[in-house]
Chains A and B, each alone.
Chain A
Amino acid sequence: GAVVSQHPSRVICKSGTSVKIECRSLDFQATTMFWYRQFPKQSLMLMATSNEGSKATYEQGVEKDKFLINHASLTLSTLTVTSAHPEDSSFYICSGLPGNTEAFFGQGTRLTVV
């Protein structure tokens, strides 16, 4: 299967600061990548679709000014959580579709805001 690398795997930040999470496709080009959020004991919820060279598409209820997405190249998408607060603490996971069918996921990033 395709390889998606996500960094960092864990991050702790202070309330009010911003955190950037990177998602890289290592063995395929990704014109589109997806960012999900997963709360404890819950399933994955799509936050936004990241499009290379254009604006991201956000799901209903997701604040685009809080969750900034940049997809500047065919192998890298970044998610920046701005002015983070404790309620933003969650597990963030990205995915890419090398063949426009099966999605392959990164390892996830555990964000803790204190």
Chain B
Amino acid sequence: EDQVTQSPEALRLQEGESSSLNCSYTVSGLRGLFWYRQDPGKGPEFLFTLYSAGEEKEKERLKATLTKKESFLHITAPKPEDSATYLCAVQQWGGNTGKLIFGQGTTLQVKP
């Protein structure tokens, strides 16, 4: 069964304390892996797309990496405004290629 699992479920960090979020996936024919940020009561905001193992993408304090089985979202020196739920999603080849399968998300809280 196609599955996306994120860990930890929740993460509390002090401002400046770097950490990583994990997204493990089991899907047939990975077309792309996506990271989104979701603030409470809002729709997801696109962060990154990764297509192949070894690929890395960076944006400000965030860096996403991809292997054949998992992806990491590294947060370097986070600030309180980085507090949000981070969602990982995968897209498969074949069938409904636009469909995204989401993980449960990691809720990050960064304290000043």
Interface, chain A (partner B; CB < 8 A): 1, 4, 6, 32, 34, 42-46, 49, 57, 91, 93, 95, 97, 100-108, 110
Contact = CB atoms under 8 A, between A and B. Distances in A.
12 contacts: A32-B98, A43-B103, A44-B102, A49-B98, A101-B91, A103-B34, A103-B46, A103-B100, A105-B36, A105-B45, A107-B43, A108-B41
B99 interface: yes
Contacts of A42: 104
Contacts of A43: 87, 102-105
Contacts, number: 57
B44 A44 contact: yes
B49 interface: yes
Contacts of A57: 96
Main secondary structure of the interface of A (DSSP, over half): strand
Which of A4, A101, A104, A106 has the most chain B CB atoms closer than 10 A to its own CB?
A: A101
How big is the B interface, by class? 20 to 34
Given A46-B100, A105-B43, 8 more contacts: A6-B43, A42-B104, A43-B104, A44-B102, A57-B96, A95-B43, A105-B44, A108-B43
B42 interface: yes
A42 B104 CA distance: 6
Interface of B: 32, 34, 36, 41-46, 49, 87, 89, 91, 96-105
